[in-house]
Structure 1
């Protein structure tokens, strides 16, 4: 099976924007990356990569992040 090609630049740009919204919401909620990781069951390195736009979170992970931060999912994916 051939490997998937990398996403286009516009997808990477939007992924970084989602990561920044997650970071901003997390900070507004006064949560550390470690605290968010503990609340969601996502390891801290994954939280770091998601916030940096280096990793695409699954929908389930986005739902858990939104719930743990206390914001609607739409606020994170805008």
Structure 2
């Protein structure tokens, strides 16, 4: 899995953090949350795990901007 693919999943997740959190909170357990994220966003298991493992501090505007910048650089 490339760093670009992981950054893409993080940037997609942070486009609407409230929706992401709703998916996680509505899930019975970690496995259900991973499956729900994969279904909703079309991610693979590694991408879903990366998003689940993300710390809440990464959802600040400054960190979201950094993730988007890294993702854009990885696309070049």
Same topology, TM > 0.5 = no
Higher relative contact order (CA 8 A, sep 6+): 2
Task: Name the TM-score, length of structure 2 as normaliser.
Answer: 0.31
Greater gyration radius: 1
Higher fraction of helix: 2
Task: Name the TM-score, length of structure 1 as normaliser.
Answer: 0.31
